[in-house]
Structure 1
Amino acid sequence: MATTDPKAIKKYTDSLQTEVDAAYLYSRVAAAEEVPAIANMFRELGEIELEHVSKMTEKLLRDGIKITVPPPSWRARTLNRIGKLLGYGYIIGVLMDTEKSITAAQLAQKEKNHVPISGDEANHVKILQALLSSKSKVSGEHISRIEGKHKSIGGNALRAAVLGANDGLVSNMSLVMGVAGATDGQSGVLLAGMAGLLAGALSMALGEWISVKSSQELYERQMDLEMLEIETNPEGEMRELALIYTAKGIPEAQAHQMAAAAIQNTAHAHEILVKEELGINTEELKGSAWEAAITSFLLFAVGAILPVIPFFYTSGYMAIGQSLAFSTIGLFVIGAAITLFTGKSIWFSGFRQVLFGLAAAATTYVIGKLIGVSIAG
């Protein structure tokens, strides 16, 4: 007899959706991958996910649960579009998180049902880790490709965009509501809102500039010191290279041979030691501190301008109401965008963001109102 329990059906639908989305994203990453060996690995992972979907559906039918396999979700399709624009490095990170969540769910279910753990539950996590690890059997050039994509700015830029706009919106909405509460939405709100926008955006931009610039300067100094060590003590650096290779599982004799060959090319030895010993990704040094600062300024300003807009053309409670309306829409959009990182429901994340943002605005409005009454009295 087929189950009609909505919670059970939703649980199975969510599980199928996760598998379908993973298969879809693996296929998209594979299609975008230029290295055939790596593309085949991602393609096979996608095919395995589709097999999981098929077997899960068959089992549910045997248990009397009729369920329709869903198409790729809005989230998966949006992630694919982001991958096309910004690179698929961030998508690989999302897939890693998805595989970890699937593994955790499988282990919890087996523990609940007292089913022995086989050790195969985390196979996909291990495969992805191998692809993103220097211990992989794929060539060093291929690994560099994957690591470069995984650490690319695509995912970080997306996260920074959402969080930067959120900071601007919440902080400036709170400021605007505080001043509006003190003045009933009359004089001073527009000035305070624009001052808050500029102050916050400039602060964010300066902080980002200092962060990027100081990191670059630190990395450059460490890299210069490493080059100096190679030039003044090549034997010692060769031993370090041999230890690095040995730690990767390469036989000791072969590790020493590889180290001796690598040290003959100073630039190549420096590149290896910078990456393996210092843990520095040289791609990060190519970023512009000014570009990061300007981007942070604009992202903060985009969020911060929303609660201010109505005060350009109206005032009083009309402006306050419209300001809250614009801010509510912005908060919901930001909450929906956060689901790209978390995988939660759009409605859940959107309304949660609205609730927290409006709670902050209400608090500052009440405080402003009290201060305004106190001053007037």
Structure 2
Amino acid sequence: MRHGENHKVQHLGWLRAAVLGANDGIISTASLMMGIAAAQTSSHTILLTGIAGLVAGSLSMAAGEYVSVCSQADTEAADIARETYELATQPDAELRELTEIYVARGLDRELAHQVAVKLTAHDALTTHARDELGIVEFLQARPLQAALTSAATFAVGALIPLIVVLLAPESQLLTAIAASSLIALAFLGGLAAKVGGAGVIKGAWRVCSWGAIAMGLTAAVGHLFGVQV
């Protein structure tokens, strides 16, 4: 029976987009709302600001991820097309190139040549994509998946400070938004680290520290330049 394994790297495609979206949703929306709150505006204005930030941020994340990952996909497609052409027009040179790759990885030349011949006969393009270009199936760019994941997780993250505004007293909004957002960021950072196989405490601290800086600076701007509305 084939030995099955579930490696952490298989999650990279959606995990990166999900963490980026949720992290940005919490930090940017909470920071924006704290900046407005520090300017001594009403809770209604703060809530409206947060909703606008959620909608704009979700769409921005989706568009940014889609364009970025499309660029990666275009690059991969161009490299695959070039490799396809070279395999069709220069098969011997490609075989030698593959042999040298395996020699560089530690095989003796005779064995490296045998492996290159066998793998070329089995699936030359996939072999070159993997061993020469570093393109493997579970790491290939998926623009739509990245865009939808980022938009959805941004919206989920942005909902946290919005809910706080609805529930917390107006006099305590700044503290409530900051505290709830930092708790959410710690949970997010720890969860992402656990899924990725890294240290939970380190992941939580990394996300929280940047979130605290962003919220603190934005609140300071709102306090310095805000006016009573």
Question: Which bracket does the TM-score occupy, shorter chain normalised?
Answer: 0.7 to 0.9
Which of 114, 123, 126 matches 1:268?
123
* Alignment partners' CA distance in 1, 2:32 and 2:162: 10
Partner of 1:28: none
Distance 1:302 1:257, change over 3 A: closer
Does structure 1 residue 221 correspond to structure 2 residue 78? yes
Distance 1:158 1:289, change over 3 A: closer
Distance 1:249 1:326, change over 3 A: closer
1:185–1:320 CA contact under 8 A, matched in 2: no
Which consecutive unaligned segments of at least 5 residues does structure 2 have?
A: none
How many residues are aligned here? 227
* Alignment partners' CA distance in 1, 2:15 and 2:134: 24
Question: Deviation at 1:325?
Answer: 4.5
Higher RCO, Cα 8 Å, sep 6+: 2
Report matched runs for 1:94-133 at 5 Å.
none
Question: Deviation at 1:214?
Answer: 1.6
Equivalent position amino acid for 1:337 in 2:
L
Over the residues paired in the alignment, what is the CA RMSD in angstroms?
Answer: 3.3
Which of 136, 143, 146 matches 1:281?
136
Partner of 1:79: none
Report matched runs for 1:319-330 at 5 Å.
319-330=173-184
Which has the greater radius of gyration?
Answer: 1
Per-residue Cα deviation, 1:192-212 (whole angstroms, up to 9, x for no partner): 111212222222211211222
Distance 1:168 1:275, change over 3 A: same
Which stretch of structure 1 is more off in the superposition, 318-327 or 164-173?
318-327
Length-normalised TM-score, structure 2: 0.79
Question: Deviation at 1:251?
Answer: 3.7
Partner of 2:48: 191
1:185–1:317 CA contact under 8 A, matched in 2: no
Equivalent position amino acid for 1:361 in 2:
M
Does structure 1 residue 182 correspond to structure 2 residue 39? yes
* Alignment partners' CA distance in 1, 2:99 and 2:183: 58
Question: Deviation at 1:173?
Answer: 0.8
2:29–2:50 CA contact under 8 A, matched in 1: yes
Which of 238, 247, 259 matches 2:104?
247
Which of 292, 306, 309 matches 2:160?
306
2:15–2:192 CA contact under 8 A, matched in 1: no
* Alignment partners' CA distance in 1, 2:172 and 2:114: 77
Per-residue Cα deviation, 1:110-160 (whole angstroms, up to 9, x for no partner): xxxxxxxxxxxxxxxxxxxxxxxxxxxxxxxxxxxxxxxxx31x2554454
Which consecutive unaligned segments of at least 5 residues does structure 1 have?
A: 1-32, 40-86, 91-150
Per-residue Cα deviation, 1:58-79 (whole angstroms, up to 9, x for no partner): xxxxxxxxxxxxxxxxxxxxxx
Question: Deviation at 1:283?
Answer: 3.4
Distance 1:355 1:275, change over 3 A: closer
Report % sequence identity: 36
Partner of 1:63: none
Question: Deviation at 1:172?
Answer: 1.1
Does structure 1 residue 291 correspond to structure 2 residue 149? no
Per-residue Cα deviation, 1:234-278 (whole angstroms, up to 9, x for no partner): 222222233234334444344445545555x3x612222222222
Distance 1:251 1:344, change over 3 A: closer
DSSP 3-state at the match of 1:188: helix
DSSP 3-state at the match of 1:88: coil
Length-normalised TM-score, structure 1: 0.51
